[in-house]
């Protein structure tokens, strides 16, 4: 979950594709894009540091000394080759850069599937995300003031992420991962709204992708905040929404009506209002669903939120016509869904209840067995 969260910070590329203005943004849409870059960069550096710290927890004193910093050599060589080809004007080099980054991200997730290759996977994930960000910067040929804005955002946010990743206590790593999930959701929401504001296309695919990115991203934000509060022991009853037992269906209906309105009209105002509506409704829905989950089951909820962040990233890829975002987002979304299913089976939970916030303890059949066992014990 930690490395998929870190890799999902590739949402920074979406923000970079929309960034503009000068040394600072000149419009609200550009400010939203800058926010996406900043939030994503915090998630990237902090996520990879936390992944390394989690892997270090499994090290034994008898393990041989590792020199993981040497993985930087092929990474720097690959990115340096990309920049050299960019300077020489090699055609299609940016598509190759995005493909290279996608493959590295795939390798990163594959590596974490086995403890023996986990550290290699973490290194490949870092190379993949770094390559994607550098490719985006190279392909855009940004004016110097805008380029400086992008570098400043990436540098400042990376420093914040590194600080958080190293300073957080070991016992607080799970809730920190949940908090970083929220940053991915923020990036997805701001990028989706900014993309529509800058390029208010009438094309159905662009509108649906922007809608899905905003809606899924908003659910990720609020759900991750609840997960963080629950895992850190700060969740209180006062955080419940009014009519919490009855509002899920109306909130879902608001989302459906907003999508219909967005697709049935070419009006910029209606489209923007629809995005705002789904952001608010999906945010409330994510809050209410995750709030109904017990703290002991929150790790499963985080895997679901992780999957959501991947699908939001995938929607960004369709919206911005960027194959890397689509590939990586699909990978994170599907792997998160599979992990959620595996964890539900292990904990004897229903995946349907997880998705819709209906945690009610054990499955019905298992609950009857447990009840029968308790009855027999009491009779004895």
For residue 364, tell me if it sits in a domain.
no
Is there a contact between 105 and 10 (Cβ–Cβ < 8 Å)? yes
For residue 369, tell me if it sits in a domain.
no
For residue 28, tell me if it sits in a domain.
yes
pLDDT digits (tens, 9 = 90+) for 215-264: 999 999 999 998 888 888 887 766 777 877 778 889 999 999 999 999 99
Domain region containing 329? 2-347
Predicted pLDDT at 373: 41
Residues with Cβ < 8 Å from 50, sequence gap 6 or more? 2, 6, 165, 168, 173, 176, 177, 180
For residue 315, tell me if it sits in a domain.
yes
Nearest to 351 by CA among 360, 365, 340, 336: 340
For residue 360, tell me if it sits in a domain.
no
Residue 358 banded pLDDT, cuts 50, 70, 90: low
The tokens describing 158, both together, are: 């990376």
Predicted pLDDT at 296: 63
Q: How much is the average pLDDT of 64-89?
A: 89
For residue 361, tell me if it sits in a domain.
no
pLDDT digits (tens, 9 = 90+) for 114-172: 777 888 888 999 999 999 999 999 999 899 999 999 999 999 999 999 999 999 888 88
Predicted pLDDT at 379: 39
How many domains in the chain? 1
pLDDT digits (tens, 9 = 90+) for 318-339: 999 888 999 999 988 888 888 8
Predicted pLDDT at 109: 85
Q: How much is the average pLDDT of 49-67?
A: 83
For residue 319, tell me if it sits in a domain.
yes
For residue 353, tell me if it sits in a domain.
no
Tell me how many degrees the CA angle 27-29-31 measures, rounded to the nearest 5.
70
Separation CA 119–CA 102 (nearest Å):
18
Q: How much is the average pLDDT of 73-100?
A: 92
Q: How much is the average pLDDT of 2-17?
A: 89
Predicted pLDDT at 361: 41
Separation CA 243–CA 299 (nearest Å):
26
Separation CA 342–CA 332 (nearest Å):
15
DSSP assigned state of 112: T
Q: How much is the average pLDDT of 196-215?
A: 90
DSSP assigned state of 9: G
Range in 32-46, 50-64, 181-195 with the lowest mean pLDDT: 50-64
In the numeric block, the tokens 């608001």 are attached to 254
Q: How much is the average pLDDT of 260-272?
A: 91
pLDDT digits (tens, 9 = 90+) for 277-311: 999 999 999 888 888 776 666 777 788 888 888 88
Mean pLDDT of the chain: 85
Predicted pLDDT at 174: 79
Distance between terminal CA atoms of the chain?
45
Nearest to 188 by CA among 42, 32, 331: 32
Give helix then strand counts, H and E, for the chain. 15, 0
User: Quick one: what percent of the chain has pLDDT higher than 70?
Assistant: 90
Helix, strand, coil content of the chain in percent (nearest 5) = 80, 0, 20
Q: What is the secondary structure of 250-316 as a DSSP string?
A: HHHHHHHHHHHHHHH---HHHHHHHHHHHHHHHHHHHHHHHHTS-GGGHHHHHHHHHHHHHHHHHHH
Q: Could you tell me where the beta strands, DSSP code E, fall in 117-190?
A: none
């Amino acid at each position: 979950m930690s490395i998929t969260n870190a890799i999902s910070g590739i949402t920074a590329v979406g923000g970079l594709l929309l960034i503009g203005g000068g040394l600072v943004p000149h419009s609200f849409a550009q400010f939203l894009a800058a926010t996406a870059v900043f939030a994503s960069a915090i998630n990237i550096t902090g996520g990879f540091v936390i992944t390394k710290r989690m892997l270090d927890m499994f090290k034994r004193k008898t393990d041989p000394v590792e020199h993981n910093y040497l993985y930087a050599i092929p990474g720097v060589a690959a990115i340096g080759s990309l920049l050299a080809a960019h300077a020489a004007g090699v055609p299609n080099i940016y598509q190759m850069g995005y493909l290279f980054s996608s493959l590295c991200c795939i390798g990163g997730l594959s590596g974490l599937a086995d403890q023996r290759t986990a550290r290699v996977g973490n290194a490949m994930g870092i190379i993949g995300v770094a390559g994607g960000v550098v490719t985006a910067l190279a392909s855009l040929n940004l004016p110097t003031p805008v380029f400086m804005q992008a570098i400043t955002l990436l540098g400042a946010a990376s420093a914040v992420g590194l600080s958080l990743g190293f300073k957080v206590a070991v016992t607080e790593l799970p809730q920190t991962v949940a908090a970083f999930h929220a940053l991915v959701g923020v990036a997805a929401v701001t990028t989706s709204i900014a993309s529509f504001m800058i390029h208010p296309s009438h094309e159905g695919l662009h509108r649906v992708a922007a809608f899905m990115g905003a809606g899924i991203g908003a659910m990720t934000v609020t759900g991750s905040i609840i997960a963080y509060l629950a895992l850190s022991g700060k969740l209180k009853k006062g955080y419940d929404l009014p009519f919490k037992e009855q509002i899920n269906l109306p909130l879902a209906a608001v989302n459906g009506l907003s999508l219909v309105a967005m697709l049935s009209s070419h009006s910029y105002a209606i489209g923007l209002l629809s995005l705002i509506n789904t952001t608010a409704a999906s945010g409330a829905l994510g809050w209410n669903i995750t709030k109904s989950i017990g703290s002991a089951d929150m790790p499963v909820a985080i895997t679901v939120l992780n999957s959501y962040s991947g699908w939001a990233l995938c929607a960004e890829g369709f919206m911005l016509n960027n194959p890397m975002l689509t590939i990586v987002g699909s990978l994170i979304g599907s792997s998160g869904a599979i992990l959620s299913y595996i964890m539900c089976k292990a904990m004897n939970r229903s995946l349907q209840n997880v998705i819709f916030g209906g945690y009610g303890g054990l499955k019905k059949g298992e609950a009857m067995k447990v009840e029968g066992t308790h009855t027999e014990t009491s009779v004895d």
